[in-house]
Amino acid sequence: MFLSQTDPNDDDVEIKLIDVELESKGEVYWLGVLFIINGLLLVFGAFLAWETRKIDMKVLNDSRFIGKVSCVSKNFTACLKCQLMIHFDECFM
């Protein structure tokens, strides 16, 4: 979709709105990899929660530390997903 209009305040300015849709030949494989990674992370997180459910340590109950670990792991996962997306787009183009 491509829309164009001139700015009512200035005739020298033209506003262009462009809508781009990207498609990939390997979209099914890409989605499969994402679902597998997310499923493995979910299973691993459930395993860690189950194994540490009865541990009574003051260090493990520190909410700030748990928040930092959660933030770092989410950032790592997002970076890994981006790298996989770039790699698979290069392979299937």
Greater confidence (29 vs 58) lies with 29
CA angle 63, 71, 90 (to 5 degrees): 165
Q: List pLDDT tens digits, range 13-40.
A: 666 777 777 788 888 898 899 999 999 9
Task: Delimit the domains of the chain by residue range.
Answer: 24-91
Q: Is the pLDDT of residue 2 over 60?
A: no
Q: pTM to 2 decimals?
A: 0.41
Facing residues of 38 across strands?
none
Task: Quote the tokens at residue 23.
Answer: 């498609």
More confident residue, 89 or 80: 80
Two tokens at 15? Answer: 């506003």
Cα–Cα–Cα angle for 85, 89, 93, rounded to 5 degrees: 175
pLDDT of 92 over the 80 cut: no
The percentage of the chain sitting over the pLDDT mark of 90, rounded to a whole number, equals 17
Length of the chain: 93
